[in-house]
Structures are given as structure tokens and as C-alpha cells.
Structure 1
Amino acid sequence: MVLVVVEATEGAVLGDGVFQEGPVYVTVDEHGMISTVGTEKPKDSAVTLSAPLLLPGFVDIHNHGVGGSHDVAYSWTNPEFTLSKLPANGVTTVLASLLPMDRESYAASLDALLPVIAKPKPGHTRCAGIHAEGPVIRDAGALPNQNLNPSLEEFTEIVDMCQGHMKVMTISPSMEPQSDFRRTRLLLDRGIRVALGHDKHATADDIVAALRTASEYNDSTPHITHIFNVSKFHHRDTSLVNFGLCRSFPNNPTFAGLHPPTVEVIGDGLHVDTLTVAGLLSARTPAAVAFITDNILHGEPGLKSAYCGRELEVGPKGKGVYVEGTTTLAGSCLSLWDCLRFLVNEQGQNVAAACDMLSATPARVARIPRVGRIKPGYFADLLLASNDLRLQHTMIAGAVAFSFAGEVQRS
């Protein structure tokens, strides 16, 4: 039974680089799933909502929350705060990124998160699972420096605490050869995407060994966590960045049978310079690049919060989070909708390619089913936008989760 009909007068991004010229009509059934996608207006059904452009809902696979607690390290103890704000940024699906912390703090976040995973409230973004940033971390960067090399038993307990909802874990490859990649293999055995990162010490041999270990498993090519950040790059001293810039590996026995990892990048223009982003986008295809926020606060200029003993403040333009009173960048308050405009307006990407890096690619990396594309059988997670890329409506599972008043064209 069709309950909702959405019209895109100029066109729709369907996913995988496909832009369908308008008019495009998407019908939604009583379960919030897409029934049909076509260019013919459904008979005997009135259009519910209309806009020039229709885009798939964005998928943020690296987000620490945008506040709601006294300390940003504990934002996910109050998931409703973040999940209620993300629809305004076009984010319809998110992974909750957890920091390496003591067992009690980790459990507090999970106690709040586990009941809401895959069970979004009306008007709230869907939390599809957990991204664990650590605890097997060589270079902490801005992460808490707590228990960064747990035993296999401690590591297994952390994974078990997530009750099967861990989708991605960041792990430093230089930490693993001494244990024969046993922690990495545990993740692979459970179908968790291994993300290599936070490692300025990893050698080419370490990285190849991690890729070789993953190659023993089906569809398990590793990912790279926020490429360029908490890493190194040199033309002779090979690092994760060198591997992440490869569209294909050299015809060399060292790389036989291996595939380049997918990568993610923080698209705020602060964590990674725009010229560096341009280089990455020249080297890799949209199917290999996911844009993330790596949020720790929402972008309210002057907003302050604590973070593990430090005082933070959102910058005056609402673009970055800094150690209070300094110019030291401490985190992100990025909107994925701003990422879209950055990709199209500054990086020169077409809207279909840009949306892939915000929707289809991150969904595939995290193995989140039925999101990231406008396709029958997928969730009706839809973004209605103007031709100049102003967000008008966010729909999650066919229901309006966010609207900008006065900007929505109704038929």
C-alpha cells in the first residue's frame, strides 16, 4: 500500500553515481520502505512532497555525538540529544563512535545506546550501531590515553559488550604483528570492518600484513580512519596515507591479491586542507571515499564543553572545536550538509558523486543494509533540496524528521 509519494521536479540522485533527470517519483509503503522509483506519476496517488532535487539520506559512520553531556567524551550516554539534531544536517543514519575509556564509562555509553540502535524515535536519526575508535591505538592524538593496548581477553570483553552491534573498529596496524593479529582476526571473524588508523609508526610491512590478514575473509578489505589525521605522509617512508591514496597497487609480489583500503576524510576544511582533499579525490573514486564529521559538538559559535580535563570552545564561525583560549584544533562540529556543499561548490564534484561519498560508500563500508541509495526495498530516507543545495526536508523511513519552514514546495 502506497502511503507517500515524493516528487523531484529536476532530478534525483539514486546512488552509485546515477542521477536520474526529473521528474522522478518515489513511492513509500506503510513500513517506511521505498516501493517504486520512476519517471511516471503514480496513478490515483497525490504527491505528498515535492522539491527540485531528491537525494539519499546521509550516513555518518564516525560521530562522537554533538553534546548533551557535561563532557563530550560522554555524549553518547544521552543519545537522544544527538539523534534529535542530526536530521537538520541531512543525516538519517549514524554510527555512534566510542572512545577508548575505562570499562565503567564504556558501559555507561552502551547502556544508553543499545536500547535505541535501529529503533529511531519519530524525528530522530537512526543509530545503526557502534564504531569503536580504539582501544588498540598506537598514537592517541586527541583520544583519551587509557588502556590503549588491551590483552586479547580484555579486547574480547569490549567487543562482547556491544552485543553484536559493533560495525567498525579503528585499530593501529603496528600494534598487531607481535600478537599475530589475533585481535584483528577476532573482528574479522565477527564481520566487523577493520579500520586502520591512529598510527604514525606503522611500516609498509605492518600495513601489508594487516591487509593480507583481512584478505583471508570475504568482503573484508580494511578501511582507513580519517586519512591524513594522526598519521604521517612521506614519499619514501610509506604510511597509511600512501596506501590510502592508491586506486590500485603496483604489479609487485608484495601486493599480490590485495585491494587498496577505502578511506574516510573529515570534510570541514580545517582537519584537512582543501588542496589535500582535492588530491585525494583525484586519486580515488567516490566508491572508495567516505566523508565523515568526527563530531564532538554541534556548531554553535562560542559553545563550550569539557573533554577529559580540557575546556573546549566552538570557534566563532561554528566550523571547528578548539582548546579554549587557543588556536589548537581539538575536534569537529561539522555538518554533512556543509560537506555536500563543499564537495560540489569547492571541490567541483557533481551532486551524484558527492552524495555517494556521503551515503552509499559509508553504508557499504559499515555494512549497513538498505540505506544510502534511493532504491526499491531500501528505507525511504530522503532529502528534499533546492537547486542551490538548500536542505528543505529530511525524511527517515518515509516520515518527515526535519523541515525548514517556508522552503518546502507542496503539490
Structure 2
Amino acid sequence: MTTYLIERLGQHGDGIATGPIYARGALPGETVTGDLDGDRLRNIRIVTPSEDRVKPPCSHAKSCGGCQLQHVSDRFASEWKRDVVRHALAGQGISIDLDAPVTSAPQSRRRATFSVRRTKKGALAGFHMKASDTIISVPHCQLVHPDLTAALPMVETLGVLGASRKGELSVLVTRSELGLDIAVTGGKDMDLTLHQALSDLARAYDLARISWDGEIVLQRRSPVVRLGKAEVTPPPGAFLQATKEGESALVQSVKQALPRPKAVVDLFSGCGTFALPMAEFAPVHAVEGDRDMVNSLDHAWRNTEGLKRITHEARDLFRNPLIPNELNRFDSAIIDPPRAGAAAQIAELAKSTVSQIAHVSCHPTTFARDTATLLRAGYDLEWVTVVDQFRWSTHVEVAALLRRNK
């Protein structure tokens, strides 16, 4: 039987041999055998295991598709994620020293989207199997907070109440300061009977809020999250950092990048992850495409003492970025775009007089591309921090300081 030497780990967590040939679950330095199917190995057997191979801490690891890196040591995962950022920057001709990532603890994810299907006896809730539409139950998940795994019976009840026979519900469960916030998509049309059933469910499980396809159907308490001094009630399904530890690491990086700002513009501000903490030190202008998130930020600011003024606008920064005349009112900028990056807005920042930029990103490749644009425009990359709040996944985030050279 042909053996293959795994040379490196790909961006999706697969081992890669010469070819390239992809081997799911294999690690660099390992010798493996398997059945070649196109460019992928099936029925893989590890002949010579890596010293960095460990027993997955989660009993669901072999079947669940939620984590890609539970079979690797923490040391390997940390170094690999640092290399992902290093290689992305090198692809743009950028070289900089990187410290080890700040990694979130097990069972610290405060939000997760569970899939639910009706069954003959009720419903099944959990995550999809690897590369499959099949749902598996994950009662012993080591990734999400215990409050979320404890909510799985409630999620299955939601499936019984609101899923069609053939459809699949998507249930986003978020742990707020005052209870679980539930956002359901893909369910039946709302009617009086379903609404009453959801009211009973919310009381039985002491839920803070339930929304159905983007509409709040009941709210027993505001599902607030704390951002700096402020308490924010995000709109249903709104973006929120996955862990408190990850959020804290990113916020601290932004504060480190902008220690004495005079006026800050926060681009892609969301509900105020950075705008609200930074308003403790300087006035902030927050710009976000989603009007409901802007409204949540504004309400939090108006109801929190000790903050400088936060102005805001709902604006599509992909189609209508702030131009230099607008940006030049600020000495400091924060930009935290989606995975696609922010090429249009970065191009305008590059032409501005903004002196320092805290650049946060959830995608190293687009981060490197956008950073290269700023470097060509006369900014210097002072430092980059790697943040791993999606433990055991291939996902990695960064925060950086760019300062316009004199």
C-alpha cells in the first residue's frame, strides 16, 4: 500500500502531501496510508504519528464538524496559527515579529448556532457531522459554555414546535448577562398557537428573549451584554465576539494602539465593541451598515455615565466609504471589517491624514492585503497581535497598529 508523507497543514486543517494530496486529520511529519480518491485520501491510517498528535478532549471530535484541530497539541496549534498570519503577511512582502496567540479557554464560547431537525420521536439538535448534512447531538461539547450545552433540550423543543417535517431550524443561542437570547431562522410562519407555545417555553427555561426570523416575538428581560462600562442590548442575531476573553484581548489591543486619541472614527462599529470602551477616553464617531446595531449602540451610550460623546451613522462602507475630507477630522481610526476586508474604505484611509489606525481583522489574507495598501501610502506597521478566540478551529484573528510616518 502506498504511503504518503504529510508535509504541511492546509488553511482548512487538512494534512497535505506532495501532489497536493489532502488527508483530513493528518499532521505534518506523519506517514499515512489511505485510499486515493481524486486529490483526497480516504480511510486514512496513521503509520507514524507526530509528537504533536494528542487525544481529542471532546468525545464528539471524530464525528462533529465544529472543530478541526482537536487532535493537535496546544503548542502546535498556537505556532500554526501564528504561521498562518506570518505567511499571509509574507505574501504581501511584509515581515514582522509575532508573539504567541492569545487563546480562549475551553467551554468559553458564549454563542453558538445549533441545527435542529424533526424526528419521528421529537427533534434532534446539535452540529453537523464533518462534510455532511447529518446532525449529531453534542451534549458534552468542550467548545461552548456549559449554559449553551444545557440548553440543547430547549433547542430540541423549539424544533418540535417550529420546524417543518423536512426543513431544518437554525437556532442561535447567545449567553447574555440576564439569560439566554434565542434567534431562530428557517421555521414555520408565526401564528397565535406557536406564539403561545414559545411563551410557555420561555417561562419553562427562563429565557430572556426569543426572535423568529429576525422579529422579536417575546422578551422577558433585555439580553444585555457588557461592552466597557455600557450595557448593550443587541438586535436579534447581531454580531458579537465569540468569547469574552477574545473580545477583551481585541479591545485591549485597540486601547494599546490608541492610548491618547483626540477624536476616533470607528469603521464597521457593530454594536460598539470598540466604540463604547474608547468613548471612556475620547469622542467617537461610529459607522456601521446595520441601522439596528447603530441604534443599540446609541441607546447604550445615552444610558451610560462617564462616556465622551458618540456620534453615529448607518452607512454601507463597501459602497459608500468615508472619504478623506470626512476622515481628516479624526486623528485615530479603528477598522474591523468582515472577512472580505475593506478594500474601498482602506483606499480612502490611505489618502487621509489619520495619524494612527487600529486594524482588527478576522481574516489574515484580507488583513495582509489591506495592510499592504496602507504601507504603500506611507503608514508603518508597528505591531501585530494574534488572537485565537475560536479554539480548535482554523479561524484566527489579528489586531494591529499602523502609524503614519513623519
Normalised to the residue count of structure 2, the TM-score between the two structures is 0.29
Bigger relative contact order, structure 1 or 2, given CA contacts below 8 A and separation 6+?
1
Determine which structure has more spread, i.e. the larger CA radius of gyration: 2
TM-score by length of 1: 0.28
